[in-house]
Structure 1
Amino acid sequence: MSVLTVTAMKTDIGKYAVLHDITFEVPEGGVFVLLGRNGAGKTTTLRSIMKLWQPTPGSVRFQGEDITGLHTADIARRGIAYVPENMGIFGRLTVEENLVLATAKGKFDPARLKNIYALFPALEKFWTKQAWSLSGGQKQMLAVARAIIEPRALILIDEPTKGLAPSIVAAMADAFREISQSATILLVEQNFHFARSIGSNMAVIEDGRVVHSGAMADFAADKALQNKLLSLSA
């Protein structure tokens, strides 16, 4: 069963055609990774799904419902969360206040908050600290925690390991494996080692088109295909 189906999605930014014909399906559960070289259109794909950019033709279906014409807020209310590359946290608000803003009724579900503490212990430690004072890795943890503070069926995450120390990347991998047991993750990631370690399925975007998709295990085993599509040997 597919949680998300993107069909023939095209997106223009100004006078530039960025996405030409994006088509892929995200199975329910696990981590689906969008791979590709810089500038291929991965981030634009996530932003177009969330209607932060306005795609033109094509369709997006979420859990069988056509959400193509919905506004961003309505898409989020359907159960899709988005963690942008810049994390989007509020630096002058505390960790607690950042999370409160992401709740539906301004209060926490104790069980979900306990689970977030287990995934990201630093957030409990720095609960009353302003977000600007956190390290880069802690800010990324806060951004992800905000996406899961309410039940979500699908979480879109853009470049979560960028600039992070290896120990933080390893902790993030463990957290994503845990999160993907109850929600599907659609991940954009340049770190292929990280993507390979947690991904269940994948698609490669090149010049605004999906040029390959399949099981991550199969792609990880094919060095020639990796070099052809991602230039990993370079």
Structure 2
Amino acid sequence: MSLLSLNAMKTSIGQYAVLHDVSLEVPEGGVFVLLGRNGAGKTTTLRSIMGLWKPSPGSIQFRGQDITDLHTADIARMGIAFVPENMGIFGGLTVEENLILATANGKFNQTRLKRIYELFPALEQFWTKQAWSLSGGQKQMLAVARAIIEPRELILIDEPTKGLAPSIIDAMAEAFREISQSTTILLVEQNFEFAKSLGRDMAVIDDGRIAHAGTMADFSADKSLQDRLLSLSA
């Protein structure tokens, strides 16, 4: 059984249909990458999974349980976290306060907090700093840390490398590899080299439809398919 299943999912925003009959199986473990051109429907897919936009028709199952009509808070309680493209952090709060808000009861599990320090040392260094004062890379680290401060089975991460320096991207890749040892990651990413270095399985969405799905190894070896679906040579 797949960890996450999308079944003939159609999502509309207002009068505009964005996703058309999207079906996808995300296996448990590792990093699953959802690729696609700008405007293809990647973010809409993640937001639909989290209940922020409701698909109709279609269904979403998590560990075999239908979550299509659940509220976002209930989906989060099931063990799914979402790191949006805008990071979703609170600029006027400190690093510590941002993480406290992401806990279930306002208290840190010290083992998990230690793990976050190991993954993102800058967060410990800037623990009392307001989030607005952090660099772009540090803000992204904080956003991911908020997603893993509580135990999660699945993390949806939208465009985490956008605007980041190469050294920060490398550090983020190492952190994602570590996180994916215990938590499945569904990653939306435009940086194909970053995605290729992490992904085990993948799919390409194009014009609101799944155009290809398979292993990252096979897709990485097929340059013509990459060019056709992602226009990487353009």
| Band the TM-score falls in, shorter-chain normalisation | over 0.9
Pair 1:208-2:208 in alignment: yes
User: Counterparts in 2 of 1:72-87, with a 5 A limit?
Assistant: 72-87=72-87
Q: Give me the whole-angstrom Cα distance separating, in 2, the residues matched to 1:56 and 1:85.
A: 24
Which segment is superposed worse, 52-61 or 150-159?
Answer: 52-61
Deviations 1:12-55 (A, max 9, x none): 11111100111100000000000011100000000011111121
* Residue 149 (structure 1) shift: 0.2
Residue 106 of structure 2 aligns with which residue? 106
Q: Give me the whole-angstrom Cα distance separating, in 1, the residues matched to 2:219 and 2:5.
A: 21
Q: Give me the whole-angstrom Cα distance separating, in 1, the residues matched to 2:24 and 2:138.
A: 32
- Aligned identity (percent) is 80
The AA in structure 1 aligned to 2:86 is N
User: Counterparts in 2 of 1:6-25, with a 5 A limit?
Assistant: 6-25=6-25
Q: Give me the whole-angstrom Cα distance separating, in 2, the residues matched to 1:63 and 1:93.
A: 35
The AA in structure 2 aligned to 1:96 is E
Corresponding residue SS for 1:2: coil
* Residue 145 (structure 1) shift: 0.2
The AA in structure 2 aligned to 1:192 is F
Residue 198 of structure 2 aligns with which residue? 198
Checking the alignment, whether the CA contact within 8 Å between 2:54 and 2:68 is kept in structure 1 is no
Deviations 1:42-78 (A, max 9, x none): 0000001111112111110001111111111100000
The AA in structure 2 aligned to 1:172 is M
Corresponding residue SS for 2:194: helix
* Residue 205 (structure 1) shift: 0.2
The AA in structure 1 aligned to 2:148 is I
Residue 148 of structure 2 aligns with which residue? 148
Corresponding residue SS for 2:22: strand
User: Could you state the TM-score of these two structures normalised by the residue count of structure 1?
Assistant: 0.99
The AA in structure 2 aligned to 1:180 is S
Corresponding residue SS for 1:194: helix
User: Could you state the TM-score of these two structures normalised by the residue count of structure 2?
Assistant: 0.99
Stretches of structure 2 lacking an aligned partner (at least 5 in a row): none
Q: Give me the whole-angstrom Cα distance separating, in 2, the residues matched to 1:107 and 1:128.
A: 16
Runs of 4 or more consecutive aligned structure 1 residues displaced over 3 Å after TM superposition: none
